[in-house]
Chains A and B, each alone.
Chain A
Amino acid sequence: ELKVEQNPLFLSMQEGKNYTIYCNYSTTSDRLYWYRQDPGKSLESLFVLLSNGAVKQEGRLMASLDTKARLSTLHITAAVHDLSATYFCAVPNTGNQFYFGTGTSLTVIP
């Protein structure tokens, strides 16, 4: 079974600071997805990364994919309170079944 791990699991950071969330996965995949989940809510798609070296940016978030290292990063720049949420990476297998990471619970402190 494809395993997807994220670290850290919990992240508390001050507003204005930068930080990176890491997502490692166990088998070859050329696609990776990042989702955001607010408490009690559904999963909102953030980024779709479809090839090695892909980089996507939206506001204060930037995601990248290194398929050779089986690693994706989600970089947060100058964090604001609105970014507080749980962030999941997800990797599909050949059957398009998505395997989700353990999640990173981000709290941005004023």
Chain B
Amino acid sequence: EVQLVQSGAEVKRPGESLRISCKGSGYSFTNYWISWVRQMPGKGLEWMGRIDPSDSYTSYSPSFQGHVTISADKSISTAYLQWSSLVASDTAMYYCARRGGTDYFYFDDWGQGTLVTVSS
């Protein structure tokens, strides 16, 4: 069974750094991109960026480029989303999602979400 298990909820202050994780299991981690998706409170889904775990090649939405960093450690089948300096507007639920496979352009499995709260 494919599973994406995300790290737990976080409460941070503005200006702090943070890294959240997404661990894949039940499949070959390096064969499937992982994307990160933001959902602000009461709002819709926003695609942030993705990583190819086989070579750590990344691409980002222009809306998020430069504000977050996506990385992966294929030795432990885990992808990460990282901020160096959080702001209040980073408060949101963050989902990781697995691409359907090579030559497929959809997300067939999702993590349970990580709630990030940034407040002074």
Answer yes or no: do A and B interact.
Answer: no
Chain B positions within 8 Å of A, measured between CB atoms, are none
Chain A positions within 8 Å of B, measured between CB atoms, are none
